[in-house]
Structures are given as C-alpha cells and as structure tokens.
Amino acid sequence: MPINYQPATTPNSRNDRTWVQMLLPYLRNFDVFRCPADFGSRPLSDATFDQDLVPGDTDSQYYTASLHTDYGYNYQNLAPILIGPNGGMAEPRQTTQVAEPSNTIAFLDSVWNRNDAGQPYGGGNWLVVPPCRYYEAPPGQPPVDSFTGSLGVRTQVYTTSFGWSSPNEVAASNVYGGAWPWHNGRINVVDVDGSLRSVQTPQLAAGCDVLGHWNGLIHDADVYPWDLR
C-alpha cells in the first residue's frame, strides 16, 4: 500500500511527498483528485506559495493542493506511521494482509473543514481517520490495536485527529474522521480491491461503538469496514 507521506520533522514541499504526489508520476493529471461535486474554493493546483517551488521538481508545485484532495486515505490501517525515538516510520501493509479487500476502505470522499453554518470549505482532506481503534477483548484480556496489531499497548502513531468528534462540533474538520457526503448525503468509497460503493455516513461506523478519542471498541470486525481483518 502507498505510504501517506514521507515523514519529516517539519513537512513541506522540499522534504516531503504526500500520497497524492507519489501517484502523480503515474497519472500525470492532478484533476482526477478533485470531486466534480465539490464547487468550493481551495488552494490552486499550481504553486501559490514560494515553499511549493523546488527548482527542477515539477511535482513540488502540487504539495499544498494535494493536502486538499477530495479523497481521503485510510492510512491508519493501511500505512500507519509509528512514532519512535528517531521520529516517524511508515509501515505500509501488503494487500495480502487484507482479509476482505472488497469491504476494506482505501479511499473515500473527504472534507477539509466546515464553517459555522456547517458548510464545507477548502476542498477535501488527503487523510481520514477511522471511528474506532481497538478491538473488543474477552474479560481479563488486553484489547488489540487495529492499527498496529499490538496487544493492549497504546502505541504512538502519527494522526490528524484522535477519532471522530461530536457531530455537534459544527466547525470541526474531524467530524466523521474527515469523511463527507458530497453526493446527496452519500459517500463514495473505494475499497482495497478497487471496487466502488456508495454508502451513508452511519455505515462507516458499522461494527464499532463511536466514542471520542477512540475510546469506543470494535465489536464486530466482520462488518467494520476500516481494518485488515
């Protein structure tokens, strides 16, 4: 699976690449990362700041714009970045590790932020976070981390937010983990096997109890659409 970005202490266009930029050499068309249903303003595809310009590097101009792609990546489950004493290290998964490729989210419609009226702005978000992190465990046994597979250890991972926030937080960009129903209340999801499906927001939380800061547990891994099981 692709990594979400190349870890750097202070990421910018000179020392970093988002997953969008890493795919650009194969696609050569940045417009495919924009959803036709998103008419809002966002950073231009061309460079808008000096930091986006790296001499001789044609893809560097897309750094800022790539953060606002309308398709968020399920990076915590497919390519988590673990934080250690020497900084972050990406651990991308193999496709063979995904038990149900046709029911495991790879990318989905996303939003950068919402204003006080609840309207989206700024385009989409290159990353989305799942509603739950830990599997429900039998009494007396430690929970298993769905991101890392570790038993009962709260490993430090790079994250844009810690789980889903309350829908009442109107301006929060991490409501529903950054997912956004651009299509008449529905969200387009691309699964690991490349198939496409349209779902309603509650379906993204199937199989888990949604609580803030990932305190809710995954109780049915068979229907939970984010993890590798």
pLDDT in tens, 128-168: 999 999 999 999 999 999 998 888 776 788 888 888 876 56
Report the pLDDT value the prediction gives residue 165, as an integer from 0 to 100: 77
CA distance 140 to 136: 11
User: Which helix (H) or strand (E) covers residue 87, if one does?
Assistant: strand 87-90
**Strand duo 186-191 + 120-121: pairing:** unpaired
Instruction: Take residue 92 and report the two structure tokens written for it.
Output: 């991308």
CA separation, residue 124 to residues 43, 70, 179, 209 (Å): 11, 4, 9, 26
| pLDDT at residue 64 is higher than 80 | yes
Inter-residue contact 123 to 70 (CB < 8 Å): yes
Residue 5 bridge partners (DSSP): 18
* Residue 25 zone, left/alpha/beta (φ > 0; ψ -120 to 50; rest): alpha
pTM tops 0.85: yes
Report the pLDDT value the prediction gives residue 169, as an integer from 0 to 100: 61
